[in-house]
Amino acid sequence: MGKKEIIEAFVECAAHCRNCAYSCLKEEEIDDLKNCITINTLTAEIVEKMALGISTSSDAEEMVIRHCRSQILACAEECEIHDYAYCKECAIACKKAVTVCDSYLSK
């Protein structure tokens, strides 16, 4: 497991997070989804920036990946609460990214 796989997992995760947040905004029960919207938007921002950061530098790589893993896991847990298909898909993408992080960090 290398940087390439981490970056790909982060990019895929961010795409699902953005889709989830934007889809939540279209729901009538938006008040119930405010936390989901917030955490998905924040997660997308973090992992996009960190994917760029680890692609160009390795000084704080492990710390960055651990931070992202924590944020992504929190996002997965939030998305699992909701019954919308896009939330479930986001949770799956987040869990996949967590697994990739775990594999990378265990090397």
Count of other CB atoms within 10 angstroms of residue 59:
9
**Class of the domain covering 3-105:** mainly alpha
d(CA 78, CA 71): 11
d(CA 34, CA 51): 26
Residues 77-93 have pLDDT tens digits of 999 999 999 999 999 99
pTM of the model: 0.92
Tell me the domain boundaries of the chain: 3-105
Residues 21-76 have pLDDT tens digits of 999 999 998 999 999 999 999 999 999 999 888 877 666 788 889 999 999 999 99
Closest to 72 in 3D by CA, of 25, 32, 17: 17
